A and B are shown apart, each in its own frame.
Chain A
Amino acid sequence: MFMCKDVVENIMGYIDCELDLQTLKELEKHTGDCPECMTFVNTYKRMLEITGKLKNKPFVTPEIRNRLKILLKSKVKPV
C-alpha cells in the first residue's frame, strides 16, 4: 500500500519524471486522496522555485575584482 513515506521518498523521481508508470500512478492516486501529501508536493515545488532564483545572484563586486588584480601583481617578482 502506497503511503505518505513513499511520496516523500519518491518526490525527486516524480519531479524529474523518472518514476516508472506504476509508481507514478500510485503516487498520484495517493496524493490526490491525501491533502497532507498534496501540500508536501506543492511546497516542495515552491521551494525549488525559490532556490532556483538564487542562481543569478551576483557575488563579485568591483572591489573584490580589484583586490584580485592587486594580488596577482604582488605575486609577480622582478626578474
Chain B
Amino acid sequence: MEIGFIKKLINVIVSNDNEQTTGISDDELVRRFTQLGDESSFEEIVNRYSDRIYGFALRITRNTSDAEEVFQEVFLTLTKKLHTFRGDSKFSSWLYRVTVNTSYMYLRSQKKHENNISLENYAPYDEKGTLMGRIMYKDWSSRPDIIIFNKEAVVIIEKAINELPESYRTVFHLRDIEGLSNEEVGNILEISIPAVKSRLHRARLFLRDKLSDYFYEWRR
C-alpha cells in the first residue's frame, strides 16, 4: 500500500457521514478501495464494521483494553491485506475470520490462555430425563418487558455470556447476537455445522438457566 494513500485514508477515517458510499455493497467497496484507491470506500467499511469488530473482539477477549488492541490490529491488517479478499465468501464473514485470528494471536502473545471447558453434557434434566421440579418454580416467562429488558438484566446476560467457555461464546455471539447463519458461523470458525448447532444448543441451555437463577433471585 502506498504511503501517500494511507495518509489520505487516515484523514477520512473519523467521518461518519459519506453519502456516496452508504448504499454500496461490501464487495463494491472493497473493489473501489483496492483497485481504484478510493479512500472513502475504506471509510465506509470502517463505519459499517467498527461496532461488530470491536464487539466480537470484546466477546472473545472479555476485556476492553484487549478488545481495542485487536480492533486496531484488524484495521491495520485491512489496510495491508484487503487486496487478498477474493470474494469466495461474504466480506463480513472474511472480516469476522480476520478478527478471530487476530484475537487468538493477540491472546497468545499476551499469554492469556483460557481453559476451554466442555459443556457437551450440560443439560437441565435429571438422569431419568425428566425436568420434574427443576424449571417451573423459577418461571419468569410472564414477567413484563419493563423488568425483562431493563439495564440490570442486560448486565446479567452479558456476564452470563462471558461465563461461557470460549468455543461456545464465539458461536453464541455470531449466531444469536450477530444473527449469522449456521453455515456462516461454521465458515468463520472453521467448524462443521453440527458442531455449530451443538455448541449453540448447550450455550443456550446454560444461558437460560443463568437467567432463570437471576430472575428467581430478583423476585425474592
In the complex, what distance in Å separates the CA atom of A53 from the CA atom of B176? 10
Interface of A is mostly: helix
Distance in angstroms from B213 CB to nearest chain A CB is 11
Known: A8-B205, A12-B200. A43 touches B140 (CB 8 A): yes
Contacts of B107 in A (CB 8 A): none
Q: Mark A3-29, 1 if CB is under 8 A from B, else 0.
A: 111111101100000000000000000
Q: Mark B117-134, 1 if CB is under 8 A from A, else 0.
A: 000000111000111111
Known: A64-B71, A69-B10. A47 touches B132 (CB 8 A): no
Does residue B98 face the partner (Cβ distance < 8 Å to A)? no
Does residue B13 face the partner (Cβ distance < 8 Å to A)? yes
Known: A64-B54, A69-B10, A75-B76. A39 touches B208 (CB 8 A): no
Mark out the residues of chain B between 193 and 220 whose CB falls within 8 Å of any chain A CB in the assembled complex. 197, 200-201, 204-205, 207-208, 211-212
Category for how many chain A residues contact B: 35 or more
Q: Mark A28-64, 1 if CB is under 8 A from B, else 0.
A: 0000001111011011111111111111011110101
Cβ B140 vs Cβ A46 within 8 A: yes
Known: A8-B124, A50-B157, A76-B6. A3 touches B14 (CB 8 A): no
Cβ B55 vs Cβ A57 within 8 A: yes
Contacts of B76 in A (CB 8 A): 71-72, 75
Cβ A49 vs Cβ B148 within 8 A: yes
Contacts of A53 in B (CB 8 A): 149, 154
Cβ B208 vs Cβ A43 within 8 A: yes
Q: Which residue of B lies closest to A36 (CB)?
A: B131
Contacts of B179 in A (CB 8 A): 52, 55
Q: What are 30 of the A-B contact pairs (CB < 8 Å)?
A: A3-B130, A8-B124, A8-B125, A9-B123, A12-B197, A36-B131, A36-B134, A40-B131, A40-B208, A42-B142, A43-B138, A43-B211, A44-B208, A45-B141, A46-B148, A46-B211, A49-B148, A50-B154, A51-B161, A54-B154, A59-B58, A60-B50, A60-B54, A62-B14, A64-B50, A68-B13, A68-B46, A68-B75, A71-B76, A75-B76
Q: Which 4 pairs show the lowest CB-CB distances between chains A and B? A: A5-B129, A42-B141, A4-B131, A36-B131
